[in-house]
Amino acid sequence: MFRTVFNILAFVIIAFSQFGCGTKDSVPKFRVTLLTWVGYGPIHLALEKGFFEGIDVQLQVVEDTAARRAAFSSGRVDASTDIVDSFANLLAVGIQGSVVLKLDESIGGDGIIAKADIHSIQDLKGKVVAYPPGQPSHFFLLSLLEDAGMTIDDI
């Protein structure tokens, strides 16, 4: 709980340092895209509880990753939530940014859902496997395949 509160306060401090405190007549805007995910709940809660007083924080729910990235790279928003893995993808296509806040750590929440006749990674050989390229699920799958002596070409 302390870490979550600390992270939210760090977010506020970063926003203030970026945009200043503003005046009564001029409240700075801080536009953020995010997707629907329980891990972003603290941002919504901080907004609801008034943690961003003095800044007009505008949360824009955008489910499509490409649309969030386009909004960020075009300057339509000031920040975008994403998974750390994806920042390598952003840099690869020339989108510059900095990671300023970490909200979550994965501690084993990833997995593979398969039909009943799949009992091991080796059983995936020659099968069709769906995954989002460049996302944690993709990297997780590549790691499991490597551990099993396989490559993405085997599936």
Query: What is the fold of 2-92?
Result: D-Maltodextrin-Binding Protein; domain 2 (3.40.190)
Write phi, then psi, for 33 (nearest 5 degrees). -95, 145
> Strand runs (DSSP E) across the chain, as ranges?
29-34, 56-61, 79-80
Q: Where in the chain is the domain with CATH 3.40.190?
A: 2-92
Residues across the chain? 155
Q: Which of residues 62 and 66 earns the better pLDDT score?
A: 62
77-104 pLDDT per residue, tens: 999 988 777 777 788 888 888 888 877 7
15-57 pLDDT per residue, tens: 545 545 545 568 899 999 998 888 888 889 999 999 999 999 9
Structure tokens at 46: 């901080």
Single pTM value for the model: 0.59
